């Protein structure tokens, strides 16, 4: 079995685990468990809380003491057990705690998955920027496959989605231990106290350009959390007037168009990064979020279905052009001795602080525009669109960057 295929399978399973519940669990909590909007937002917010420290912490472990592939496998096995536990829970306080624990072990695996992929490809002499995106695209395929399995089986409002996720997590946990070894980088240099504690990746913030990049990655992470938490509840709310529509009957299938779009945009990343550089690619991502939310504001499962569909399509650019491109940018900028930690910091900013702020902020906006249990989704999405628009105007002015398209290098 070739190494590319092995990495493809690893990336497929990595996001199959997540896709089984990430999009549909909001509907499960609201419709089946009868949680409030605030409770749903807080459960999704556990991803942000977990990402504040766990990706960085386990990135340090992988950089210094334990092979990255072993840390990846252990996290998935523990996470699978917690998901099985979550499937038996019906009350909010307990589910909140268990999902927090689960996310403490799942969220670091996204960065660890990237780190293992990068190290293995580097050892084999591959060009990471060119080779990794076509491999990573299979992660999105896995996410889509999980969504389709859950939707077509009729489990979008059932705890069965958690069984699907747990089962795939067990398979991936075992499989990760069979990957080529990714040991910590040995160095003879005398370590400072900060280095011994694994804080060296945070020196990247001393570079103003990197600090600004991390801050805007955090703001875009907030935009992603908004979509994760309220995308499916938004579509499900149309059941009053569009109960027989395709969107209401198969919300996961409709939402999976976003991930299908993502697979296509991932393949364009080498071209866009080489041609335009990270700054312009990030600007494209920000304005794609403007359209993502704006199209939701005017869409519906009837005459406005085309706007819902277009919103799903533009999501691919919105997500990939900051998430995947940002990860590749960090990989190139960070010293080899702290690359896992640097990926962990990127996760902290996007899926940690960004996710937490997105959950808190979006929950406040949704509650503000909810009267008598009825949500004014048009106003809600327009507020989110305006948020992205503000980012789109500020980022080009704040982020100092020069791209050299002839060589595809990132210049300081």
- Spell out where 237-391 has E strands: 370-371, 374-375
Q: What is the mean pLDDT of the chain?
A: 87
* pTM, to two decimals: 0.76
What pLDDT digit, counting tens, does each position of 103-128 carry? 999 988 988 998 899 899 988 888 78
Q: How many domains does the chain have?
A: 1
| Overall average pLDDT of the 170-195 stretch | 77
Q: Classify residue 190: in a domain, yes or no.
A: no
Cα–Cα dist 353/8, whole Å: 29
Q: What share of the chain is helix, strand, coil (3-state, %, to 5)?
A: 80, 0, 20
Strands 402-404 and 374-375: unpaired
What local confidence, expressed as pLDDT, does residue 340 receive?
A: 65
Tokens 């996470």 map to which residue? 79
* Residue 63 located in a structural domain: yes
Going by pLDDT thresholds of 50, 70 and 90, the confidence category of residue 192 is low
Q: Does 409 fall in a domain?
A: no
The answer to whether residue 373 sits within a structural domain is yes
Contact between residue 295 and residue 311 where contact means Cβ atoms under 8 Å apart: yes
**What is the average pLDDT across 55-81?**
89
In tens, the pLDDT along 118-160 reads: 899 988 888 787 888 889 889 988 999 999 999 999 898 899 9
Over range 71-84, report the average pLDDT.
97
CB 331 within 8 A of CB 278: no
For position 142, which CATH number holds? 1.20.1250.20
Candidate from 1-5, 110-114, 250-254, 402-406 with smallest mean pLDDT: 402-406
DSSP state of 405: T
Residue 111: inside a domain: yes
- Does residue 411 fall inside a structural domain? no
Q: What is the pLDDT of residue 406?
A: 45
192 lies in some domain: no
The answer to whether the CB of 395 falls within 8 A of the CB of 286 is: yes
Confidence of residue 199 (pLDDT cuts 50, 70, 90): low
pLDDT in tens, 278-332: 889 999 999 999 999 999 999 999 999 999 999 999 999 998 898 888 888 887 8
pLDDT at residue 407 is higher than 70 = no
Q: Given this model, what pLDDT does residue 400 score?
A: 80
**pLDDT, greater one: 35 or 344:** 35
More confident residue, 136 or 16: 16
- Evaluate whether 341 touches 56 at the Cβ level (below 8 Å): yes
41 touches 364 (CB < 8 A): no
Confidence grade of residue 404 (pLDDT, cut at 50, 70, 90): low
Burial class (CB in 10 A: 0-12, 13-18, 19+), 178: exposed
The lowest-confidence range among 29-33, 99-103, 198-202, 208-212 is 198-202
pLDDT at 243: 86
Tokens (6 digits) for 65? 């003491």
Residue 411 has pLDDT above 60, yes or no: no
Is residue 346 within 8 A of residue 111, CB to CB? The reply is yes
pLDDT (tens digit, 9 = 90+) per residue, 331-377?
787 777 777 677 777 877 887 888 888 888 888 898 889 888 788 99
CA separation for the pair 148, 150 (Å, rounded):
5
Q: Are residues 238 and 245 in contact, defined by beta-carbon separation less than 8 angstroms?
A: yes
- What span, in angstroms and rounded, lies between the C-alpha atoms of 24 and 353? 23
Q: Is residue 11 part of a domain?
A: yes
Q: Which domain holds residue 372?
A: 3-183+198-404
């Amino acid at each position: 079995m070739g190494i590319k295929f092995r990495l493809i399978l690893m990336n497929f399973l990595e996001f199959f685990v997540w896709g089984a519940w990430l999009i549909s669990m909001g509907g499960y909590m609201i419709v089946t468990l009868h949680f409030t909007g605030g409770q749903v937002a807080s459960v999704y917010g556990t991803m942000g809380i977990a990402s504040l420290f766990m990706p960085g912490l386990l990135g340090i472990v992988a950089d210094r003491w334990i092979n990255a592939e072993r840390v990846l496998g252990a996290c998935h096995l523990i996470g699978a057990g917690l998901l099985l536990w979550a499937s038996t829970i019906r009350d909010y306080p307990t589910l909140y705690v268990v999902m927090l624990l689960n996310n403490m072990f799942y969220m670091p695996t996204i960065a660890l998955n990237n780190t293992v992929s990068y190290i293995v490809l580097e050892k084999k002499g591959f060009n990471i920027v060119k080779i990794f995106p076509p491999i990573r695209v299979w992660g999105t395929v896995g996410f889509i496959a999980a969504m389709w399995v859950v939707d077509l089986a009729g489990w979008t409002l059932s705890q069965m989605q958690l069984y699907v996720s747990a089962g795939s997590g067990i398979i991936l946990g075992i499989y990760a231990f069979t990957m080529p070894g990714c040991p910590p980088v040995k160095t003879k240099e005398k370590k400072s106290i900060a280095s011994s504690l694994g804080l060296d990746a945070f020196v990247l913030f001393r570079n103003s350009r990197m600090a600004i990049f991390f801050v805007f990655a955090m703001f875009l992470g907030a935009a992603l959390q908004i979509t994760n938490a309220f995308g499916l509840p938004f579509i499900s709310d149309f059941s009053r007037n569009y109960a027989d529509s395709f969107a209401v009957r198969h919300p996961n299938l409709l939402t999976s168009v976003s991930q299908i779009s993502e697979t296509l945009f991932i393949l364009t990343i080498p071209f866009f990064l080489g041609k335009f550089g990270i700054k312009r690619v990030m600007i494209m991502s920000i304005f794609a979020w403007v359209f993502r939310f704006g199209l939701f504001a005017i869409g519906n499962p009837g005459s406005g279905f085309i706007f819902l569909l277009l919103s799903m399509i533009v999501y691919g650019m919105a997500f990939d052009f900051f998430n995947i491109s940002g990860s590749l940018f960090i990989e190139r900028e960070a010293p080899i001795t702290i690359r896992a930690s640097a990926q962990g910091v990127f996760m902290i900013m996007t899926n940690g602080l960004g996710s937490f702020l997105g959950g808190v902020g979006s929950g406040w906006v949704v509650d503000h525009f909810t009267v008598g249990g009825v949500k004014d989704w048009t106003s809600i999405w327009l507020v989110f669109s305006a948020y992205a628009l503000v980012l789109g105007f500020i980022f080009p002015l704040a982020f100092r960057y020069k791209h050299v398209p002839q060589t595809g290098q990132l210049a300081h």
